[in-house]
Amino acid sequence: MADESVQSEASAQQEKEDGDNGSSQKTESRDGEKQTVSKRQRKRLLKQQKWEEETDLRKQKRKEKKQQRRQQRHDHHHQEEEEEGEAQNARKRLRREVTPSSLRLVVDCSFDNLMLKKDVRKLHRQVQRCYAENRRALHPVQFYLTSLGGQLKQSMDEKDKGWVNWKDITITTEHYSEVVAQEELVYLTSDSPNVLEELDHKKAYVIGGLVDHNHHKGITFERAKELGIDHAQLPLSNFVKMNSRKVLAVNHVFEIVLAYLEKSSWQEAFFTVLPQRKGAVAISQDGTAVQGKEEEDSDSDPDTPD
């Protein structure tokens, strides 16, 4: 009876251990021997088997996702091309609405030997700005760049080789007096006693291409008198009171003329173009200041004679 009791307890203990490990199942090994596999092990085996069986399915899904991403990129690129095409068409339509002006603006680059290299580079940037603004203007002028050579041409060759492909501009090494008839020339200089009231479309207005920080004061006026050509200053004092000198950068004079052609108002043209650092204040009919712009310390546009 004692032996039976011991066997019963051992059997119960074995059943408990089997319960803890999960129900077991005998499987046949590769060498034909029977092996006992627990429920947990069987789950792992089934999971591994399922993973292996679904390998091809996973590959297919990855392939489909890759194709989907490729298609999305293609669609996005196609959409960007369509939008760019629409933008180009809009620009072309806008360009067709542009009305070129018969007015001629000449930048006189004959002062090359009077400038330091750093100032020549500033003049180069101002010329670039003139070209860009004229290309997008509502009434682009006939643009002339004369007496090009020396340091300025070297700067353009080094910094902007594409200038040789510029459109709607006449670039020449000749002096402006050899390109335009003398009676058609008007030199824009702030030292002239003559005030320009209206633009004459039969004239060619000359802007001095000089960045000298007032080291050669009055030189453009003297050149005009030497050549015996007409000269005038923009009507700045009639419409604007300024904290700084009336001497403007080449591109400012150029842009003011473009703005006047569009707006037919000198005051609007001045306040559209003049930089804030000039501290410009509009003048009313009774001579009092009516509005102003805050002055800045920026010197991004160096002064040149107008």
Region for residue 32 given its phi and psi (left: phi exceeds 0; alpha: psi -120 to 50; beta: otherwise): left
pLDDT single digits (tens) 15-57: 545 544 444 455 555 555 556 778 888 888 888 888 888 888 8
Lowest mean pLDDT among 23-32, 54-63, 212-221: 23-32
- Select which of 108, 212, 303, 306 is catalytic: 212
User: Is 168 labeled as catalytic in the residue annotation?
Assistant: no
- What is the average pLDDT value for the chain, to the nearest integer? 80
What is the per-residue DSSP string for 185-202? EEEE-TT-S-B--S--TT
pLDDT single digits (tens) 278-287: 555 666 554 5
Q: What are 66's two structure tokens?
A: 């890759």
Inter-residue contact 231 to 189 (CB < 8 Å) = yes
Percent of the chain with pLDDT over 90: 47
In Å, what is the CA distance from 65 to each residue of 50, 55, 68, 71, 306? 22, 16, 5, 10, 64
